[in-house]
Structure 1
Amino acid sequence: MKLRRLLNMTVSEVACRGRQETAKWWDRLEMTGRTASASDAIAGKSLEHCCRAAPARFFEGVVDEATPRHIGQRMRESYDETVAVADAACQLRFDLLGHRGLTFGDPVDWHLDPIAGRRAPCVHWSRLNPLDPASVGDSKVIWELNRHQWLVRLGAAYRLTGDERYAETFAANVRAWMRANPPGVGINWTSSLEAALRLISWCWALFLFRGSNALSEELFVEMLGSVQVHASRVEKYLSYYFAPNTHLTGEALGLFYAGTVFPELRPARRWRALGARILIEQLERQVLPDGVYFEQSTCYQRYTVETYLHFMILADRNGVAIPPTVRERVQRLVDVLVALRNPDGSIPSIGDADGGWLLPLATRAPDDFRGMFSTAAALFGRQDYAWAARGLAPETVWLLGADGVKAFDGLRPAPPGAPASRLFADGGIVVMRSGWDEGAHQLIFDVGPLGCPFSAGHGHADLLSIQCSVFGQPCLVDAGTYGYAAEPRWRDFFRGTTAHSTVVVDGLGQTVPAGPFQWDARPRARLHRWQSTEAFDCAEASHDAYSRLADPVVHRRRVVFVKPGYWAVVDLLDGRAEHAVELRFQFAPIEVTVGPDLWARARVSEGRGLLIKPFAAVSLKGEVHEGDLAPIQGWISPVYGRRGPAPALIYSTVARLPLCIMTLLLPTERLFAAPPAVIPLLGAATALLGIVPFEGAE
């Protein structure tokens, strides 16, 4: 396997990996635990000099004296929440990912996973495997603490209140961290992305705590020396080939931060140029022409938008010219998220979601993108982004200051002018919706590939799956992610086919996991038809995932939206032999029942919900499973590290192929009334030809 991988590498990849492996070897030989000296870092520049010169280089909201007033007067809930998060941090209690009130000891043990009760060894980082839960626990939990984004929340609380407790907590913990994490030693140096995110947090903390007695000259110089160590590590081990996705762009942003905010550092000009070049190049590579992020993940699409918003704002503050294509392509990214946005304002989960943020300036649920929409609205002057944001967000105030507030307030929020139903052909996503109102019906149909061209690591085996909102409320959903490496059995379930609303053949997933971020094969979906009119939408696609069976099976799915009222989903399974077939629907945690007549009822609010009924020329069995463990089914994960039971509706049969199943998805305001009369049309050999529409349908 390794030889085959090596033979497939380009010369440049072999050279890059060779350089990095050689660098690791030298790093291990030189592992002395030294830190950069003040003269190495800032060439004699003082804290006073940097505090005087640097504010013009940083984000306006951080240095704008009006920011506390804007937050306090217009966003009191955010003000209070920021103070509460900072108070908890002073007590060394942290909300990280899906975990609440985590403690890592007093003093903090920076190498501990308190969930698994495991402590990563303090050896050179290249000797550690962060994906080995037996030795390090869940590295995501450890890293989330060590990103030091909670220091930024402490700094925000300090700017809002002037309370020196927050500054003292910051200073004490940064000193403790530097003592416990000498350069190159331990799990907190294993990832270039994590080093870059910590570097960004430190930049913010240094500006937020400027003027505090706790930020002494000595601490400033020591931190700036560590910033140089962080940036040098990132530069040396950029993820050009290891993870050329949000890892690489996040690392590039860290270099751009260090080189732009601290030009006194000797390598600053090189870091700034390198970071900007990577960000500009990767935007073209990672964002498809239609604006879909190439890893097929809404979470990582949001990460990408955040990265480029920071890049553009910081570049503008420092007079760094960037091509106009950057603005254009970032807006395409945001346009996709606006189109995918559920009627209730949440963003549907597609692909992996790790629960993290580039820089969380407010506490938000993983599906709450309002802060990003708000900042994009102010930066680009877009009314539709302001509509999606549902009001000015604190993130915008911190990033753009008074100018951002003025820009947002000058917009008249309005839904997009584009059609409500649309196809993103490059990304393989179909959106069908009745309108832009909060009570709209919406369906998302995945007709794209499994992951991106170079890796399916963050992609799910969800080909031809659907998600659905009725009366504005999410009903059929993606099950989520839950975790990456700590619990392989759960990792495989949540990214597997049985966690998604699609068809399963012979109890097999569309592909087989080959590690936490790999699959043994890359089946593809193909879109055959898309048509959208005032009366209906129709999309048809197929995939070849089950062509690997002894009797190859092709799954073809057609989804028709009869506007504005209901969907018909037609599944055609082409083969020659007998197969076990499951038509699966994964719901949000709502009430779902199925009767002997196969009518299923999913309640989203009092009296309203979704009726589901399949029609076939063979006998079907309908069941609802929730919270099952053997096998695992009927679970969702709303955020990384947390899971809960949720209904999975399964219609199953064993039949000789070919087979056609036509399923009606009918939003109704009279969920528990008698269902409508729908008559299947049978042809020769009892083949299903269609259905006679119910009363009131067309």
Structure 2
Amino acid sequence: MTGKIKKILRMSPAEIRFRAWEQIRIRYEKQNARRELETVEKPDFNFFVKTCDFELYTGADPTGLWRKEGFARRLCEPLTEERKQAFINNYPERYSLALKRADAFMENRFAFLGVAFTLPDPIPWQKDPLSLNPYPDGFYRDIDIFTNKNAGDIKHVWEVNRLQYLIELTKAAWLSGERKYAEKFESLLTDWIRTNPYKRGVAWASALEVGVRVSALVWALAFYRACPFHRPDVLRAMLKLIYLSGAYLYENLSIYFSPYNHLIGEAAGLFLAGYLFPGFRDADKWANRAWDVLCDQVEKQFHADGGSVEQASFYHHFTLGFYLQTIQVKRLNGQEVPARVMERVRRAIEFSACLTKPDGDMPHLGDIDDARSIYFGDPTHWDFSAWRAIGAAWYGRGAFKYGLKQLPEEAYWLLSNPDQENYARLKAIPPDQNALLLKESGYAFFRNGFGEDAHFCMMDCGPIAHGVFHDDTPSAAHGHADELAIELSAFGESFLVDPGFSNYRGDFDWHCYFRSTAAHNTVEINGQSQAKQGGILQWSRAPRFKQLEFVDHESAKAFCGEHYGYQQQPGAPVHRRYLLFVDNLFWVVADYIYPAKGKGEQTDFKEHFHFNAGLKTAIEEGKQSIVCQGDKATLSIHTLSQTPSPLHFRFTEGADGADGGWISPTYRAVRPAPLVSMAYQAVPPLCVVKVLYPQKKGQTGPEFQKENQQLMFGDYTVIMEEASGDVRVEAGGKHFRICHDGKDGYIHLND
């Protein structure tokens, strides 16, 4: 049975009816596309409600529309001279950067999604910006957006057509008073409208792109209208484009096609088009439909613990940003937001705070897209502190504000004046949980504090992503095959990292590698990934998993979990991992691998250690150790093993191929980084234990001595018992014991 048939059999009757009706609608839409385009392009095309004066729109001064009651609602606080000067005075570096980036756009210079390029003038909107090869023209539904046979990576041409940089041009025009930025904006916008007719071409081929573009247009319109030199024809063109985008989105919501960040981005765009402009025809219908989707979906997009069901940290913030923006618009206009929506969004912000490492970065979990749902400039980075700042203002949570030196720019534009006053009065306090298990998302976090020099580690034991099946049914998803992977920072410096993600289109080997088990800090068995990859983004045979134990003790914090991703392998080996954080000082990782069926067979194992870029890494093979030096600290990894064969270490950094030692923190931003793989052969059951000991630069640490299956350092001894593989950690009168007996592993403290 093919994967496509399996997917059809899994569809609900409602989904089958929806998809069947959609095909009928699309066929009719295509037949009438030319007539529809001719209608909307007529100068007298009236897209206003009867109570709204169309003559104001066509007249010499369309700004009169905003003075008419019932035409528009507030997007943000008024962009007054006082607000402008406050930004220039309080954010001098952001102001300088805004003008610098606007100057680049003046010359058609762009840099995003791992590429930089300069486009000719006028911009070839429907060509790949790197090769300038054209994309197919014609009816938007006829364009295949999933093929690798297109002109290039479709993400690049879409990013140009999202028009988010128009916000930066109009913002620069308003802040600086320089007309040149407004003129460039006018030129780009009018040319885009002329060369991208409604529902034709690659710019209309994805509803998410249209949704993101609406957000860009409403903010660009706000800054442009605040300028003293706006043109009436440009205001009219913007309003019409926002209206047409809303009409398109209402017809094309990805209810079943892509019911995660795509659907939320589309619904947010539809909401902004309808809610902000009640004077548009069908605006109330759009706003109500969009808001219903957003409210209905909030508990489907975020687990009860706040993590995104897509299991991808960048997409977590992409989806969350759409909620933050639409909720703020509601609040700004004096309307209530359901308590359950506010509660789930609060938890999603808490999840963001949990992910934040001491250096301000985050684990690069799952697929990565540079896209920002809240955009005011310079999008390619992992700073989502504005999301926490908004949460601090809304919920009065001092822990959300902790570590933020200033209200981030995105929050400055988005939050109301009372919200900003609440934020200013709020006292920042450190979070109170150094150990936390998020069961639904599947992440355990351990810290020794929340300062810039703190230790941080996390371990993954959860779903690959919502919607991925345990059998051969293929599904697209943004999660990775990263069960039991760990991430670790010592003294505020990131050492073991998730390498991130490479690309969606082209370089398929790199696409697959960064999503595979080998690209994560976990154990690979017989050279296979924990889940089965198909085409681009496709997964099947998602591994089942079990969270066995979580311990939060004064002397040790610990988590134990296992997964069953290798049930197709001989003996069905199960990987169980224990992570101990001892005395807030060092870590013990014990990997116990046992056969679920019958006796174990000779098996190849390979454990991967992906280090952050710029770290100096060396292997001391005779000692079965890895030593990694950073700017602030050193991390040494010492191994005790039950394996009858010797451990074979392999170091690589920036070598040929995707597995040659690379990380990609943002889209297509690959850079060399140390990778150490530790390979061995054994017949399960077996246990391999690592002690990960950090040492601050300039300080003398303990000497490590190894005898048989004992590792001694300072006041500590780690002992692995030969027969059972059980592990003891001893320190003075304290004893921690990791036991493998029975179906579930467990951890004894002071045993």
Q: Report the TM-score, using the length of structure 1 for normalisation.
A: 0.95
Structure 2: 5+ residue stretches without partners: 469-474, 711-718, 736-751
Match of 1:361 in 2: 376
Instruction: Answer whether contact 1:260 1:268 (CA < 8 A) is retained.
Output: yes
> 1:359 & 1:215 partners in 2: Cα distance?
24
State how 1:147-166 maps to structure 2 within 5 Å.
147-166=162-181
Residue 451 of structure 1 deviates from its aligned partner by 0.9
1:450–1:13 Cα change, 3 Å: same
Q: Distance in 1 between matches of 2:584 and 2:314?
A: 29
Structure 2: distance between partners of 1:141 and 1:513: 24
2:508 to 485, 488, 496: 488
Q: CA deviation at 1:119?
A: 2.2
Structure 2 residue corresponding to 1:556, chosen from 567, 572, 576: 576
2:702 is equivalent to residue 677 of structure 1: no
The separation in 2 between residues aligned to 1:358 and 1:464, in whole angstroms, is: 30
In the alignment, what sits opposite 2:12?
10
1:375 and 1:395 in contact (8 A); partners too? no
Residues 1:634 and 2:661 aligned together: yes
Asked if the contact 1:196/1:253 (under 8 Å) is kept, the reply is yes
> For residues 38-437 of structure 1, what are the structure 2 equivalents within 5 Å?
39-42=45-48, 44=54, 45-46=56-57, 47-53=62-68, 57-61=73-77, 63-100=79-116, 102-210=117-225, 212=227, 215-417=230-432, 419-437=433-451
Q: Which residue, out of 687, 690, 693, partners 1:666?
A: 693
Tell me the alpha carbon deviations over residues 71-102 of structure 1, each in whole angstroms, 9 at most, x when there is no partner. 111110001111111111111111223333x2
Distance 2:583 2:75 in 1: 46
Q: 2:743 aligns to what? A: none
Is the CA contact (8 Å cut-off) linking 2:358 and 2:452 kept in structure 1?
yes
SS in 2 for 1:112: coil
Counterpart residue number, 1:615: 640
Contact 2:442 2:463 (C-alpha < 8 Å) held by counterparts: yes
Between 354-363 and 209-218, the greater mean CA deviation after superposition: 209-218
Contact 2:84/2:175 (CA < 8 Å) preserved in 1? yes
CA 1:207–1:684 in structure 2 vs 1: closer, same or farther (change >3 Å)?
closer
Matches of 1:90 and 1:371, distance apart in 2 = 28
1:462 aligns to 2:464 (yes or no) = no
- Matched residue SS, 1:349: coil
Match of 2:727 among 669, 673, 690: 690
1:213 to partner: Cα distance: 6.7
**When the two structures are aligned, how many residues end up with a matched partner?**
695
The amino acid across from 2:140 in the alignment is W
Greater Rg, structure 1 or structure 2? 2
Counterpart residue number, 2:674? 647
Deviation at 1:273, TM superposition (A): 0.4
| Cα drift, residue 267 of structure 1 | 0.5
Q: Displacement of 1:134 after TM fit? A: 1.8
Q: 1:26 to 1:368 in 2, by over 3 A?
A: same
Stretch deviating more after TM superposition (311-320 or 340-349):
311-320
- Decide which moves more: 127-136 or 301-310: 127-136
**Counterparts of 1:650 and 1:207 in 2: how far apart (Å)?**
53
What secondary structure sits across from 1:135 in the alignment?
Answer: coil
The sequence identity of aligned pairs, in percent, is 28
Q: Normalised by the size of structure 2, how large is the TM-score?
A: 0.88
Aligned mate of 2:458, from 444, 447, 454: 444
Cα 1:217–1:42 change in 2 (3 A) is farther
User: Contact 1:473–1:604 (CA<8 Å) still a contact in 2?
Assistant: yes
Q: Which moved more, 1:664-673 or 1:565-574?
A: 664-673
Contact 2:370 2:379 in 1 (8 A): no
Give CA-to-partner distance per residue, 1:191-214, whole Å, 9 cap, x none: 111111111211111121115476
| RMSD of aligned residue pairs (Cα, Å) | 2.3
Q: Distance in 1 between matches of 2:703 and 2:365?
A: 32
Distance 1:683 1:308 in 2: 50
Q: Structure 2: how far apart are the matches of 1:377 and 1:127? A: 45
Equivalent residues of 1:181, 1:188 under 8 A apart? yes
Listed one character per residue, the Cα deviations across residues 87-118 of structure 1 (whole Å, up to 9, x for unaligned) are: 11111111223333x22321101122233553
Higher relative contact order (CA 8 A, sep 6+): 1
Deviations 1:130-167 (A, max 9, x none): 12232241111111111111000111112211111111
CA shift at 1:367, angstroms? 1.6
SS in structure 1 of the partner of residue 123 of structure 2: coil
Q: Deviations over 1:32-87 (max 9, x none)?
A: 24335554223504322234358972233453432211211111000111111111
Equivalents in 1 of 2:658, 2:300: separation in Å?
39
Please tell me the residue identity of whatever aligns with 1:421.
A
CA distance in 1, matches of 2:502, 2:548: 33
- Return the alpha-carbon distance in structure 2 between the equivalents of residues 504 and 132 of structure 1: 30
1:676 maps to amino acid: F
Give the Å deviation of 1:390: 3.0
What is the letter of the counterpart of residue 626 of structure 1?
E
One-letter amino acid matched to 1:260: Y
Secondary structure of the residue aligned to 1:175 is helix
Match status 1:585 vs 2:587: no
AA of the residue aligned to 2:651: V
| AA aligned opposite 1:558 | Y
CA contact (8 A) 1:464 1:525 kept: no
Quick check: 1:97–1:355 contact (8 Å CA) kept in 2? yes
Q: Cα gap change, 1:170/1:62 in structure 2, threshold over 3 Å: closer, same or farther?
A: farther
Residue matched to 1:499: 519
Cross-structure match for 2:747:
none
Q: Does the Cα contact within 8 Å between 2:305 and 2:439 map onto a contact in 1?
A: yes
CA distance in structure 1 between the aligned counterparts of 2:328 and 2:720, rounded to whole angstroms: 63
The structural deviation recorded for 1:691 is 5.8
- Equivalent pair of 1:374/1:391 in contact (CA under 8 Å): no
Which residue does 2:586 correspond to in 1? 566
Report the equivalent of 2:498.
478
Q: Distance in 1 between matches of 2:493 and 2:435?
A: 18
Q: Could you say which residue in structure 1 is the equivalent of 2:652?
A: 625
Could you tell me how far apart the structure 2 residues matched to 1:157 and 1:630 are?
A: 42
**2:488–2:495 Cα contact (<8 Å) kept:** yes
